[in-house]
């Protein structure tokens, strides 16, 4: 549909939002709207507003075990948004954020026998 999207940074303190202002815009993109059938995110970093009035949770963080997951909504093969400097900044920041942290791994299922 090629509508303009404004991506609001709703967690400016989050490492994925580093180097971004209050929002950034993508001139033409495919519109997505709520409801979005995913679990509630552990952290919401971005929310999108489209020129038609639709909104969408577009930057969601999840913690699973010792791992981190980042969902970033913008992107569609019709519109080359990955050339946008703000989108590139988000991707770089997200890769750094999800990078594994060195810490002791839990030992599961190996317990001393109870007498």
At 26-39, the pLDDT tens digits run 887 877 766 777 88
Q: What is the pLDDT of residue 3?
A: 81
Range 42-80 burial, b when 16+ CB lie within 10 A, else e: eeebbbbbbeeeeebbbbbbeeeeeebebbbbbeeeebe
pLDDT band for position 89 (50/70/90)? very high
CATH class of the region 3-98: alpha beta
CA dihedral 65, 43, 34, 84 (to 10 degrees): -100
Site of tokens 């639709």: 54
Q: What is the pLDDT of residue 9?
A: 97
- Between the CA of residue 6 and those of 10, 53, 80, 86, what are the distances in Å? 12, 11, 16, 12
88-95 own/partner pairs: CB under 8 Å, 24+ apart: 89/18, 89/19, 89/20, 90/16, 90/20, 90/46, 90/59, 93/15, 93/16, 93/17, 93/18, 93/19, 94/16, 94/70
Q: Is the pTM of this model over 0.85?
A: no
């Amino acid at each position: 549909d090629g509508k303009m999207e404004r991506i609001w940074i709703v967690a400016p303190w989050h490492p994925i939002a580093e180097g971004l202002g209050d929002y950034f815009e993508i001139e033409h993109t495919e519109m997505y709207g709520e409801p979005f059938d995913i679990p509630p995110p552990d952290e919401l970093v971005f929310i999108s507003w489209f020129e038609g009035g639709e909104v969408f949770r577009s930057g969601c963080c999840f913690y699973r075990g010792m791992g981190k997951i980042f969902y970033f909504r913008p992107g569609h093969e019709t519109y080359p948004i990955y050339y946008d400097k703000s989108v590139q900044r988000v991707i770089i920041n997200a890769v750094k954020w999800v990078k594994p942290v060195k810490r002791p791994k839990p030992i599961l299922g190996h317990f001393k026998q109870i007498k």
